[in-house]
Amino acid sequence: MTLDQSLQQYGYAVAHVTADDIPTGVTQPKYTCVVLCRQGEASIEMNMEMCRITASTRVCFTKVMMTRVHHVSPDFSATILLLSERFAFEASVGIETNLLQNLFRFPVSEVTNPFEWELLNQLMECLLTYNKTQLHGRKQELAGCIFRGLIIAMAELEARKHQQGNLNVSAYSMGDTYFRRFISLLDDHVTNEHEVNFYADKLNITPKYLNEICKQKSGHRAKEIISGLLLLRIKRELRITGKSLKEIASEFCFADQSSMGKFFRKMTGVSPLSFRRENMTL
């Protein structure tokens, strides 16, 4: 069974990969990925962020919308876990947002402690071993538990690395629940809905409270998070499609091309056309 087939059937896929397995060019997946690099190196662009992956490096990206492979060494080998957004979301419910922020802030991290590296690899191997058995009656449930343990381990190790052992993690709260639901709503509606009031109404809370939650959980106000994801998706369209600026503005529900241009320039300091000329991948 291929990775794509496993993703479609079970919501996740796990495998050992080599340089020959890494697709070239631009792809537009929509998944969460965890990579443990065993040897070699690679330079891969994920969501327009360059990642240099070397031996004993772990990678954890959520909501991957665009990848582009720039370089992979011939001796590259890694274990990769891909999860659908829904699978990853459900498996991580109840984990404190403050803990997960360690992964969001440091999506690529070198694991220098051999014991910690072995811990992460063993969790991945559990998934690979289970996939080889015929005990698939509760395949998704078991995979979800292992993935949950994997991201908790990665987040705690990263917290210890940057906070010298003081994890400073609070109990899971309603704020965490609202924030997760906000991010999920944002993923579904940001193309059409750019205002905080829409998401606050969907959550049955006030815009002020939503802003407070977002500030507490991410360090950014709700509008900043909305604009950040909106900008990322517009950049993706500019880079990998041949759509006109007018078409993209209409797709993202701006009043006109000029309105999108003002938003884009405010966020980046350059015009959409200039960005496209400098970054077009087709």
- pLDDT for 44-88, tens place per residue? 887 777 889 999 999 988 776 678 888 999 999 999 998 888 888
Would you tell me which CATH number, out of the four given (1.10.10.60, 3.40.640.10, 3.40.50.720, 3.90.850.10), belongs to the domain 174-279? 1.10.10.60
Query: Taking the alpha carbons of 153, 159, 162, 163 in that order, is the dihedral positive or negative?
Result: negative
Domain with CATH 2.60.120.10 in the chain: 3-163
Domain with CATH 1.10.10.60 in the chain: 174-279
CATH architecture assigned to 3-163 = Sandwich (2.60)
| pTM listed for this prediction | 0.74
Reported as a single tens digit per residue, the pLDDT across 5-19 is 788 888 888 999 999
